[in-house]
Amino acid sequence: MSSSASSSTAPTPGESAREKPRFPISSIPPNPLGEGRHIRTAAALIIGDEILNGKTLDRNSHFFAQYCFEQGIELKRVEVIADDEEEIIEASRRMVKNYDFVITTGGIGPTHDAKSFNQNLAHHGETLRRMEALGKQRTFSNPGQLEAAQRMALFPERAEVIFIADNIWVPVVRLEGRLCVFPGIPSLFERMLTSLTPFLPLPPKNERPLRIQVFTERPESMIAPYLTALQERLRPRGIQVGSYPVLGKGVFVSLIGRDLAGDGENGHQLWLADVAREVEREVGGQVASEEEIAHKKEIAQKEIAAKEGKANL
Whether residues 231 and 111 share a domain: the answer is: no
Domain end marker among 169, 199, 229: 199
Q: Report the C-alpha dihedral over residues 186, 189, 194, 196, rounded to 10 degrees.
A: -170
Q: Return the SS3 of 146.
A: helix
Rounded Cα distance, 239 and 147, in Å? 53
Whether residues 259 and 164 share a domain: the answer is: no
Rounded Cα distance, 140 and 93, in Å? 37
**Domain count for the chain:** 2
3, part of any domain: no
> Residues 3-12: what's their mean pLDDT?
40
Find the farthest-apart pair of alpha carbons in the chain and give their distance in angstroms, rounded. Answer: 77
Q: How far is CA 73 from CA 62, 193, 200, in A?
A: 14, 14, 11
Q: Return the SS3 of 207.
A: helix
- pLDDT tens-digit profile of 77-98? 999 999 999 999 999 999 999 9
- pLDDT tens-digit profile of 55-76? 999 999 999 999 999 999 999 9
Q: Is 234 within 8 Å of 242 (Cβ atoms)?
A: no
Whether residues 105 and 240 share a domain: the answer is: no
Whether residues 48 and 84 share a domain: the answer is: yes
- pLDDT tens-digit profile of 252-305? 999 998 875 445 455 557 789 999 999 999 999 999 988 888 887 778 777 777
Rounded Cα distance, 96 and 283, in Å? 43
Whether residues 293 and 235 share a domain: the answer is: yes
pLDDT score of 108: 72
Whether residues 118 and 192 share a domain: the answer is: yes
Q: Return the SS3 of 310.
A: helix
- pLDDT tens-digit profile of 165-179? 998 999 999 999 999
Whether residues 128 and 67 share a domain: the answer is: yes
Q: Which residues contact 8 (CB under 8 A, 6 or more apart)?
A: 22, 23, 24
**pLDDT bracket for residue 17 (50, 70, 90):** very low
> What's this model's pTM, rounded to 2 decimal places?
0.79
Whether residues 102 and 187 share a domain: the answer is: yes
- Adjacent-strand bridge partners of 156: 121
Domain with 296, as residue range(s), is 209-311
Q: Report the C-alpha dihedral over residues 297, 299, 305, 308, rounded to 10 degrees.
A: -100
Rounded Cα distance, 2 and 295, in Å? 46
31, part of any domain: no
Q: Report the C-alpha dihedral over residues 170, 172, 175, 178, rounded to 10 degrees.
A: 170
pLDDT averaged over every residue in the chain: 86
Whether residues 151 and 264 share a domain: the answer is: no
- pLDDT tens-digit profile of 108-126? 777 888 899 999 999 999 9
14, part of any domain: no
- Adjacent-strand bridge partners of 123: 154
Whether residues 176 and 228 share a domain: the answer is: no
Q: How far is CA 250 from CA 10, 30, 304, in A?
A: 54, 49, 14
pLDDT score of 302: 78
